A and B are shown apart, each in its own frame.
Chain A
Amino acid sequence: MPSLASIHRAIAACALAVLATGAALPVYANPAAPVTLNWVVEFTDAPTTQAVTKYIIQPFEKAHPGVTIKLIQQNGAQALDRYLKTSLAAGSGPDIFDENGPSWIPPFADAGQVLDLTPYAKKLGWQKTIVPWAYQASLYRGRMYAIPSEFEGLHLWYNADLMAKNGWKLPKTFDDLVKLGTDIQSKGLQVFGNGFSDCKPCWEWWVSYALTADLGNVGAYKVLTGKTPWTDPHVADAINKIKLLWDKGFMLSKQAPGVSFNDGWGLWGSGKAVLRMEGTWGFSPGLAYNYAKSFKWNIAPLPMWQKGLRYSIPIGIGEVDAINAHTAHPAEAVAFIDWFVGNPKRAASWADKIISTFGPPLNYGPNDYPRTMDPRFRSVINQLTQSMRDGTAGYVAWSSWPAKTEAYMWGNMEQVLEGKMSVAAYLKGTQDVFNQEKAAGKLPVVPKPAGM
């Protein structure tokens, strides 16, 4: 039986260890000299730049005297990734950077290029402020290397005026979707106004939707964790259904590969297309509000494709922010990261201003969102948050697929649709790439759904 003195000594040692750990973490304090943090982001449009500056950067700088945030802007996901890999490999690079989702972070983590934020998450209480589903989805090998700074879900966007005028109902099943599409075409209109000529990766939206809609989130989870093979007949059925929609001409009469992303929005905005299969980033200033000025529009749940499956929204972490492991200002950088995820009420305050760019998945209270927020967006965001909380969330490729598997699937989708590659060969190729990534330990953390 250990003596009381030895027990006291052990307790004191543990306390000292805890204190030492906390003391080892650099903590923000007013810097002695001015500090500039370089923050690389993937947007370049003026409305978002102005909004981010006004509602995130300036309030942060005001609350943290002596720290200045300098925006370095890259145009799009690929430009951002190229810039980061080049600059970090060269030993320079920004202090803080965006990336397009958790699945983009592993190469940086493996190379020791990003700061391990796990101790900060514990110290600053991020495990309480971030919705557990999203917290789990942001981990890599059990560690947090980037915070989730934006979450998003796929929905059905529709021209409400045209739907009402023609008496069309929102689809609840796959058969409803096919019937609606056929009815739309009979009026000489296009079904889905999505263009892919300059966004081949956008095909992964359809892959993400199909897997969730046809297998449910439990079935999708099993595929993404390797419990069910990609060559399973149910997965093949999901891909075949995408091909069916394509063969019926629902994707701009098979012209979608020749129409750009913005032109697709333009077709929807001009009333030539009735629907869009789009993510909540559509609430960005330059998209829905810009294109759909002449009619009423709304968004609705995408129908599940199999009977008996519980409704599941394909949800993902669309944007993460990480800190350069070699930053000269870790304390200030962590303070900036904490600005996003440390206080749900604060993050909610800018939600309607920087819609869909920086809306972290936090445990928001019922009244945290501003009253001026678009009620459509408020409703959807609340649905997404609730879905993550109750374990009914589905998955999207850019968040829950391993990186090369994701690239393989969107990269070969057009070949499948054009009939140049069979669905069986497509899924066999997917399985091969997935197996390689699994063997290398590159699978992202996929949050468990309810019922597993």
Chain B
Amino acid sequence: MNRVGQGVSVLRPASEAAARRRRPARRWLVPWLFALPALSIHVLVVAGPSLATFALSLFNWNGLTVGSFVGLDNFVYVFTKDSTFPVALANNLKWTLIALTVPVLLGLIVAVLVRSIRSGGVQVAYRTIFFVPSTIAGVVVARIWQWIYHPFYGINELLMTGPLSFLALGWLTDPNIVLYSVALADNWRVWGFLMVVFLAALHQIDPALYEAAQVEGANRWQIFRYITVPSLRPTIVFVILNGIIGSFLVIELIYLMTLGGPGNASQVLSMWIYQQAVFNFQPDYASAIAVVTTLMLSVVIAGFVILRKRGWEV
């Protein structure tokens, strides 16, 4: 009786086993082949240099002559003798705090407000206006804000003429506020992008939830707190995680506006790494600081992964 139609093989048993072995191999091999081009680029451009950086951190090398293996000496120096490293780390933590509050809250609140605009055209107009700064190149952003903060030609010239003269501060020269001044410039550029991200996520929320809430008599704050925010949790977590990583890697505006000054007041880890590698001819030590930064970020990411596995829905 022909049993092929019933899904039973008519092959002999040995060939059957071989066929079974072939099918799983093809199953896992083909996806890898598709991923191979991107993986090759990743190995060449990311993984390879990362491993090289780690290896370099174990050497004493000035970038040209043959280096000598020194083990963990560079790492010991980072934590025991480098007086700038803790300053830079503290500044990165301050930057992180700002990055996780100001642009995130502003982006979220404005997204909710923009979402509530009924006119499609007006909504698009607002989205565009708020999004535009995030399309401006960092060099241009730095120059714009350097002119705003300029001690002789900037906003201080206007403030000095009126009752707000007490606000004419040393925006980029006062060590107590320079970091926040640069952070403000960065937030100005970034918050519009976050607003668009939240807006896209808001569009995904089922309108029936809002209708049900309104029927139940919930006010706007309760709707925001018990429906909007929980629904946006994956997006908020994504934004926070990226914000933390971005805060530890920040360099662009610091490099363009202050070079970490005055007197290391706006020094951050990436800027310090750059200075060690380029100004101080110590790519080995710069690599050690880079490895330490990576390890710190890995701890943060691992934390998120662990919480997720425990069902925290992060």
Contact = CB atoms under 8 A, between A and B. Distances in A.
Nearest to A85: B63
A139 interface: no
Interface stretch (B128-136, B169-177, B243-251, B291-299): B169-177
B151 interface: yes
A293 interface: no
Contacts of A403: 281
B258 A418 contact: no
B11 to A, nearest CB: 57
B275 A258 contact: no
Contact of A89 (B63, B172, B264, B278): B63
A151 B231 CA distance: 67
A33 interface: no
Nearest to A82: B278
What band does the interface of chain B fall in when counting residues whose beta carbon is under 8 Å from A? 20 to 34
Interface in B248-298: 256-265, 275, 278-281
Q: Is the interface of A mostly helix, strand, loop or mixed?
A: helix
A361 to B, nearest CB: 26
Interface in B172-188: 172-173, 175, 178
A323 to B, nearest CB: 16
Contacts of A420: 175, 263-264
B64 A89 contact: yes
Given A82-B278, A89-B64, A260-B146, A255 B151 contact: yes
Nearest to A256: B173
Given A257-B261, A258-B149, A259-B150, A107 B279 contact: no
Contacts of B178: 258
Interface residues of A, number: 39
Interface string B132-165: 0000000000000010011110000000000000
Nearest to B172: A258
Given A198-B259, A418-B262, A255 B65 contact: no
B259 to A, nearest CB: 5
Contacts of A196: 261
Contact of A201 (B62, B256, B260, B279): B279
A255 B170 contact: yes
Interface stretch (A41-49, A108-116, A301-309, A378-386): A108-116
Contacts of A201: 279
Contacts of A85: 63-64
Contacts of B280: 404, 407, 411
A307 to B, nearest CB: 32
A83 to B, nearest CB: 11
A111 B65 contact: yes
B172 A197 contact: yes
B169 to A, nearest CB: 11
A362 interface: no
Nearest to A416: B263
Contacts of B152: 252, 255, 259, 267, 272
A257 B275 CA distance: 17
Given A257-B262, A403-B281, A404-B281, A88 B151 contact: no
A237 interface: no
A159 B201 CA distance: 60
Contacts of A253: 151
A418 B279 contact: no
Nearest to B175: A418
A78 interface: yes
A201 B259 CA distance: 11
A415 interface: yes
A85 B63 CA distance: 7
A78 B278 contact: yes
Given A82-B278, A263-B150, A415 B259 contact: no
B63 A107 contact: yes
Contacts of A64: none
Contacts of B281: 107, 403-404, 407
B173 A257 contact: yes
Contact of B64 (A82, A108, A260, A267): A108
6 contacts: A89-B63, A198-B259, A258-B149, A258-B178, A258-B258, A417-B263
Given A404-B280, A416-B263, 6 more contacts: A107-B281, A257-B172, A257-B263, A259-B150, A411-B279, A415-B264
Closest 6 CB pairs of A and B: A258-B172, A257-B262, A111-B64, A258-B173, A255-B151, A414-B263
